[in-house]
A and B are shown apart, each in its own frame.
Chain A
Amino acid sequence: MGLFIAQLITGLANAGALFMVASGLSLIFGVTRIVNFAHGSFYMLGAYIGYTLMQVLPGAVGFWGAILLAGIAVGVIGMLVEILVLRPVYRAPELFQLVATFGVILVVADLTLMIWGPEDLLGPRAPGLRGVIRIMGEPVPKYDIALLVITPIVALLLWYLIARTRVGVLVRAATQDREMVGALGVNQAWLFTGVFALGCGLAGLGGALQLPKGGADLLMDFNILTAVFVVVVIGGMGSLPGAYLAAVIISVVNVFGVTYLPQSTLVLIFVVMVLVLMIRPYGLFGRPEVAGEHGQVGEPEKPIRPAGTQVRLLVAAGIATLAALPLYGSSFSQVLATDILIFCLFAASLHFLMGLSGLVSFGHAAYFGGGAYVAALIVTHSNSPMELAFVLAPIGAGLGALIIGWVCLRLTGVYFAMLTLAFAQLLWSLVFQWGEVTGGDDGLVNIWPADWLNDTTVFFYLALILCIGGILAMRHVAHSPFGYALRAGRDSDRRAEATGINVKRVQWLGFGFAGMMAGLAGGLFVFSKGSVFPNEMEIARSFDALIVVFLGGVKTLAGGVVGAATFKGLEEVITRFEYWRLILGLLIIFVVIVMPEGIVGTARKWAERAGWLRGEETRKRKAREEAA
């Protein structure tokens, strides 16, 4: 009994930081419709800044002052990020801002490394709260008790701000219809900035508050992100009480999991999440997203046309150049080209999902890594030939995608996206923690292709044929009746339903198909590298694909492939520098601001303006000339 209560207290104490980060994310999303992937980075900054301030400021006042100041400092940093990075891209297509926030993650990660160095920092103890008190014989850290008091106070203050003040009224109104709030004379830009700063400040506060328990390290940013997404999904997007309750549930489950089921702590929280969502699909306190409710109507989608003769010739020439690579390129260049091809196929599969069906998956690496693991597991645990394992990779990933898709498609919009992320993390934690079967962190090694393929050039040709074939197959599907049905469902699911299309079913199959293609890429990957590790399934890999698709251009058919090739090529060059993440992050932010339609979309616009291509810009110019 004593142990039970002690653990309950620890769980509740742990919920504090999680709640603050999650409520900040939730607030920012509610008003600005931005899913702030960089939220974990602000949490990390809070911890580091708090640490430094605690070194400088003396005594108990210094300790608590440092926490408060860390929160404020991170709030100010958040404000700057909002003004400099996000303001220029609010008018970009929905979710494009994600990419900008991902750039921020990279920049913050390297700046933190530069300023505070690579070592983990041990958080100072709170003055006067060192040691433990005994509850029914069990030790409970005094600081946990303090957190137990502090968190509800922060929650109450936040609730007061949102429920009882004019600012809170405006925030809630803007969450519902921000254009109307603007029409009533409220400057939305400052409201956005204020909310973003507040949300980031909360994350920073959470980071500083957990210092005595967890210290500060460079992995904090991604480590908390998953938990935060789970909390937001369980609690319901935009609900403060929901965020609090969910943070408590997750933290308590986690603490008990560590004691009773140490091998499956990570899996456990996802099981809880899936259970909650089975009963309440939009979270404990959430409500379904209603399309168009927020007064934001995007530009209508442009129809996708089959490529013209010029473009076809260009692509054919590109493929021919690539196919001739073994004639003029080194063995290394073939390995690099194989990597790029595989990544292109992976990105194209996500692009298929996002561009055609409008479904945004935050966890597409599950199918890439899933395919790789299917093949690797078969090779490791049964004496199957490589060919069989390779064929089963896309099949296994496709089946997995069908199962996960079936659950996720109960939700829509950002809830769908977060749920796909959670499932990806579930699979990742399975792979990571089930060491006997998957090798855990050590991965699976010695997964080489069959003898006839075990040559760089031969494997390069295999990758070339399958990747180009896969990409062309997806393009073909895009122009088939199935592709039309997907696009119809994307543009208006009600109207598509009315014409007799079973939108959910079409989307489900599309999700499975995209998963299968990602699995094919994963199968190629594992045999090209000879090994696979859990990080092929992790959140960062999913984000890589997302970024590439957005940078390439979601609304253009070639976007995924062009983005992937550019990104992978750039990465090859940039990773030679010490602070390559900083450079890459800044580059991403730059591209996002300068090319809100992605590389392909922007290039097309420029080409049309210059008169090289016929299209919308040509029509606009004609209209202008006629008007003049």
Chain B
Amino acid sequence: MLELSDINSFYGKAHVLNDLGFSVARGQVVALLGRNGAGKTTTMKSIMQMVVPGSGSVRYNGQDITGWPTHKVAKLGLGYVPEERRIFTDLTVTENLEVGRQPARDGTVQWTEEMLFELFPNLAERRGNRGKALSGGEQQMLTIARTLMGNPSFVLLDEPSEGIAPVIVEQMAHVITQLKADGLTVLLSEQNLHFARAVADRAVIIEGGTTKFEGTLAELNAHPEIRDAYLSV
């Protein structure tokens, strides 16, 4: 469904992604793993074309989307949930969802505010509050809900468990499982295996902007030396 090949991406002069390539099949939950600075966020942004790769290609459903404007990529059905959350703090919860609203696409769940409030009950109570009044966990939920309002068929979650309370991490895992059940494809980035184990089918490990491992979680579990080399310290 999504295929990255030989991606080279730069921030100014810094060469962040180095011939990176991997693919994600429809309906899977894939964990993009790597240490801090391995290039996970840049990978996400390169898929969304928020960072336009210097070379290589990003294909979605067979279509080459490299160099497309970001909003067109989003319109294709790719929903991006940034690590820093980037909710609109001056807007209310409802208004934040409104920004994300897009018409329905064939074969995707068509989300409504009510459905999202069911999925994230905390948000329902705070629908009239401004973004800046929300707690970190609530903001994390809102940023996912906002992306879902665009009825994506493919969701990119950048470090969804970063900096939130364990009880909310659990809720997050539940939400991802739910999305998978609804037929969505998910690519999520994580620094450690713990969260990925709970939700992912496959894992891609990157280091220094290059793919070091691509396979199922079972395969990864069978090779603790890979984990030791590229993940936890």
Would you give the shortest CB distance from B160 to chain A, in whole angstroms?
16
B80 at the interface (CB under 8 A from A): yes
Q: A188 CA to B91 CA in the complex, in Å? A: 18
A299 in contact with B12 (CB, 8 Å): yes
List chain B residues, Cβ under 8 A from A175: 90
Q: A183 CA to B70 CA in the complex, in Å? A: 6
A173 in contact with B91 (CB, 8 Å): yes
Among A110-118, A164-172, A472-480, A535-543, the one that faces the other chain is A164-172
A184 in contact with B91 (CB, 8 Å): no
Q: A169 CA to B70 CA in the complex, in Å? A: 20
B195 at the interface (CB under 8 A from A): no
Would you give the shortest CB distance from B57 to chain A, in whole angstroms?
15
List chain A residues, Cβ under 8 A from B88: 172-173, 176-177, 180
Interface string of A604-628 (1 = CB under 8 A from B): 0000000000001001000000010
Interface string of A178-194 (1 = CB under 8 A from B): 01111111111100000
- Decide: A180 near B74, CB < 8 A? Known: A169-B91, A172-B90: no
Closest to B8 in A: A627
Q: Give residues of chain B (78-128) contacting chain A, Cβ–Cβ below 8 Å.
A: 80, 82, 86, 88-91, 95-96, 98-102
B147 in contact with A184 (CB, 8 Å): yes
A300 at the interface (CB under 8 A from B): yes
B82 in contact with A183 (CB, 8 Å): yes
User: Of residues A169, A189, A300, A619, which shows the largest number of chain B Cβ atoms within 10 Å of its Cβ?
Assistant: A169
A295 at the interface (CB under 8 A from B): yes
Residue from the list A166, A176, A177, A182 in contact with B70, Cβ < 8 A: A182
A166 in contact with B91 (CB, 8 Å): no
Q: A80 CA to B96 CA in the complex, in Å? A: 31
Interface string of B122-152 (1 = CB under 8 A from A): 0000000000000000000000001100100
List chain A residues, Cβ under 8 A from B98: 166, 169
Residue from the list A166, A169, A177 in contact with B86, Cβ < 8 A: A177
List chain A residues, Cβ under 8 A from B70: 179, 182-183
Q: A15 CA to B117 CA in the complex, in Å? A: 44
Total A-B Cβ pairs within 8 A: 68
Would you give the shortest CB distance from A614 to chain B, in whole angstroms?
15
Q: Give residues of chain B (40-99) contacting chain A, Cβ–Cβ below 8 Å.
A: 48, 50, 55, 69-71, 74-75, 80, 82, 86, 88-91, 95-96, 98-99
B71 in contact with A176 (CB, 8 Å): no
Main secondary structure of the interface of A (DSSP, over half): helix
Residue from the list A173, A182, A184, A300 in contact with B69, Cβ < 8 A: A182
List chain A residues, Cβ under 8 A from B75: 185
- Decide: A184 near B150, CB < 8 A? Known: A173-B88, A176-B90: yes
B150 in contact with A185 (CB, 8 Å): yes
- Decide: A183 near B74, CB < 8 A? Known: A169-B91, A172-B91: yes
Q: A188 CA to B99 CA in the complex, in Å? A: 12
- Decide: A183 near B80, CB < 8 A? Known: A172-B91, A299-B12, A300-B12: yes
B48 in contact with A183 (CB, 8 Å): yes
Q: A300 CA to B11 CA in the complex, in Å? A: 10
Q: A181 CA to B98 CA in the complex, in Å? A: 11
Q: A180 CA to B70 CA in the complex, in Å? A: 9
List chain B residues, Cβ under 8 A from A177: 86, 88
B12 in contact with A184 (CB, 8 Å): no
List chain B residues, Cβ under 8 A from A616: 13
Residue from the list B80, B86, B96, B147 in contact with A295, Cβ < 8 A: B86
Would you give the shortest CB distance from B31 to chain A, in whole angstroms?
21
Would you give the shortest CB distance from A557 to chain B, in whole angstroms?
20
B99 in contact with A173 (CB, 8 Å): yes
List chain A residues, Cβ under 8 A from B74: 182-185
Q: A181 CA to B48 CA in the complex, in Å? A: 13
List chain A residues, Cβ under 8 A from B48: 183
Q: A183 CA to B74 CA in the complex, in Å? A: 6
List chain A residues, Cβ under 8 A from B80: 183
Q: A252 CA to B13 CA in the complex, in Å? A: 54
- Decide: A187 near B71, CB < 8 A? Known: A179-B50, A295-B86, A299-B12: yes
A627 in contact with B55 (CB, 8 Å): yes
User: Of residues A173, A189, A627, which shows the largest number of chain B Cβ atoms within 10 Å of its Cβ?
Assistant: A173
Q: A619 CA to B14 CA in the complex, in Å? A: 12
Interface string of A194-209 (1 = CB under 8 A from B): 0000000000000000
B71 in contact with A182 (CB, 8 Å): yes
Closest to A187 in B: B71
Q: A183 CA to B146 CA in the complex, in Å? A: 11
Residues of B within 8 A of A (CB): 8, 12-13, 48, 50, 55, 69-71, 74-75, 80, 82, 86, 88-91, 95-96, 98-102, 146-147, 150
Residues of A within 8 A of B (CB): 166, 169-170, 172-173, 175-177, 179-189, 295, 299-300, 616, 619, 627
Contacts A173-B91, A182-B69, A183-B48 supplied; 16 other A-B pairs, CB < 8 Å: A166-B101, A169-B98, A169-B99, A172-B88, A176-B90, A176-B91, A177-B86, A179-B50, A180-B82, A183-B70, A183-B71, A184-B146, A187-B69, A619-B13, A627-B8, A627-B55
The 9 nearest A-B residue pairs measured at CB = A185-B74, A173-B99, A182-B70, A173-B88, A180-B86, A182-B71, A169-B98, A184-B100, A187-B71
